[in-house]
Each structure stands twice: as structure tokens, then as C-alpha cells.
Amino acid sequence: MTIPANNEPKSYPPILNPNEVAELLQVPVRTLEQWRYRKVGPPYRKIGRHVRYQYTKVMDWFENGE
């Protein structure tokens, strides 16, 4: 088994779309949709019809278990 040359974790931009947050948290995008509907999960903003997350707020939510 070979280890990829790039062992560094993926870096994320400051503003994330739902696909990136799902990848970061290792959950399906559908789970994020359900969390938004139930008003739980990481904080998000809507820009028009687009949902966006701030990386720092997602990580704060994850680390603090809010």
C-alpha cells in the first residue's frame, strides 16, 4: 500500500457551500438540508437561493457541540 505524496489535510476557503461542509463534517448533503429544516447544525446564511457557511463558524459549532 502506498501513501499519497500529499498527506496534508485539504484546506477550505473561508466561505463554504453545502457540498464542502458535508465533506468537511463527513455527513451527506441531505443531512445538512435536514438540519437546516429543523434549525439545528452549523449556522448558515442564504444569499438569494444559495446556502453558504463560514468555515470558522462551522468549526466553532463542531468543536463546541452547539
- C-alpha to C-alpha distances, 36 to 2, 6, 29, 31, nearest whole angstrom: 40, 34, 11, 9
Stretch 47-58: mean pLDDT, rounded?
97
pLDDT in tens, 1-42: 444 556 656 788 999 999 999 999 999 999 999 999 999 999
- Residue 15, pLDDT score: 97
- Residue (of 14, 10, 33, 39) closest to 23 by Cα position: 10
In 1-66, the DSSP E strands lie at 15-16, 45-47, 50-54
Stretch 32-60: mean pLDDT, rounded?
97
- CB atoms closer than 10 angstroms to residue 28: 10
- Residue 5, pLDDT score: 55
At which residue does the C-alpha cell 499519497 appear? 4
